[in-house]
Amino acid sequence: MNPSPSIQPPAQSTDPLMLRACRLEPVERTPVWLMRQAGRYLPEYRAIRDKVGFMELCKTPRLAAEVMIATVHRLGVDAAIIFSDLLPILEPMGLDLEFAQGEGPVIHNPVRTAADVDRVRELTDIDCLGFVMDTVRATRAGLDASIPVIGFAGAPFTLAGYCIEGGTSKAWLHTKSLMYTHESAWHDLADRIARAVSRYLVAQIDAGAQIVQVFDSWVGCLSPDDYRRYVLPHSRTAIAAAAKRVPTIHFATGNPALLPLLREAGGSVIGVDWRIDLDAAWAIVGHDRAVQGNLDPAVLFADRDTVRRRTQEILDSVAGRPGHIFNLGHGIMPHTPVENVLELIATVKGV
């Protein structure tokens, strides 16, 4: 492998650090934000959640924006992802969604047969998700211009998996069964979701999101051949329109063998989980794309010296190559020590 280029001088652009990194421009330091950076590990968030249910919080733009704005100020991160969830997009498509206490999301009318796909409605009117766009606007209005706002959506495979399983799963057996035995119905469902995601992301951009991220949280359960056949065209549909407008981050977990296919499906930035070294992942993705990642969230439960060392090792592996955004390899877990999160961010910032 060729050695990475040396650190470049500070860029002259006045655009936010995060946007410049997404565009592979030289930056004065690596930008950092964290998936699930506003969450149960923060006492400020728990205080709000003691008074408000999760979906009520997501559907109350003033509170959702307040949570993320306070988190950005507390942590000192370089970007704010809107406070929302992957699944509210499924409600106007006809899925009966509930966030059950202690159980996570539950869909009470899952799609289990080819005939069930017909009752999943085409989402042509995004106004029913206006609370999300209001959250984007309120978050943007409450932050300094140097902090870009990230919109997001679930990827078609992950959203279809929730529809079919009725919640999360370890093996995704119902999803794979429908996919393998009723391929036409699978593609109908995935394409319907992909079109909805595309419209949803564009609406978030129109509301003020300067970056969008697509989360394929469960696609790692597939082989590369299955990804190419059943997933890639739908992910490409979901991402394409947004990618013409703003930087797009395409993030998947669980199977580094999918990285070349994620690139093919789209994304100016490819998110990398912790199951592969970041420099190796970047070589696979190609250095003409930016990458995001990839500290194991479990490292944040170690002592602070370990957090600093493991964070620095990732930074050292990049060796100043433009286009790296520091993040975890997945979201912050509940009960993560806040002081370790702050140590990670301080290390990236060099303070």
Find the CATH number of the domain harbouring 65.
3.20.20.210
Question: What is the model's pLDDT at position 100?
Answer: 75
Question: Does 20 reside within a domain?
Answer: no
Domain around 34: 29-349
Residue in the structure block whose two tokens are 């290390």: 347
Question: Does 1 reside within a domain?
Answer: no
In the chain, how many domains are there? 1
Mean pLDDT of 313-328: 96
- Is residue 8's pLDDT more than 80? no
Round to whole Å and give the CA distance between 173 and 80: 35
The single-letter code of the amino acid at 40 is R
How far, in Å, are 12, 145, 173, 266 from residue 180 at the CA level?
Answer: 52, 47, 10, 24
What is the rounded average pLDDT for all residues in the chain?
94
Buried b (16+ CB within 10 A) or exposed e, 291-329: bbbbbbbebbeeebeebeebbeebbebbebbbbbbbbbb
Q: Considering Cα of 89, then 196, then 69, then 79, what sign does the dihedral take? A: positive
Question: Does 5 reside within a domain?
Answer: no
The single-letter code of the amino acid at 332 is I
Question: What is the model's pLDDT at position 9?
Answer: 42
Question: Does 338 reside within a domain?
Answer: yes
Question: Does 153 reside within a domain?
Answer: yes
What spatial distance separates the first Cα and last Cα of the chain, rounded to whole Å? 31
Q: What is the pLDDT of residues 180-215, one digit of tens each?
A: 999 999 999 999 999 999 999 999 999 999 999 999
Mean pLDDT of 314-331: 96
Question: What is the model's pLDDT at position 174?
Answer: 97
Q: What is the pLDDT of residues 283-308, one digit of tens each?
A: 999 999 999 999 999 999 999 999 99
Question: What is the model's pLDDT at position 99?
Answer: 87
Question: What is the model's pLDDT at position 56?
Answer: 94
- Is residue 1's pLDDT more than 90? no
Q: Which tokens sit at 51?
A: 């008074």
Q: Which one, of 36, 68, 7, lies nearest residue 327 by Cα?
A: 36
Question: Does 15 reside within a domain?
Answer: no
Question: Does 13 reside within a domain?
Answer: no
Catalytic residue list: 36, 40, 49, 85, 162
Residue in the structure block whose two tokens are 């652009």: 13
How far, in Å, are 24, 306, 308 from residue 293 at the CA level?
Answer: 15, 17, 15
**33 burial class (0-12, 13-18, 19+ CB within 10 angstroms)?**
buried
Q: What is the pLDDT of residues 96-136, one digit of tens each?
A: 999 877 668 999 999 999 999 999 999 999 999 999 999 99
> Is 327 strand, coil or helix?
strand
Mean pLDDT of 10-15: 65
Question: Does 2 reside within a domain?
Answer: no
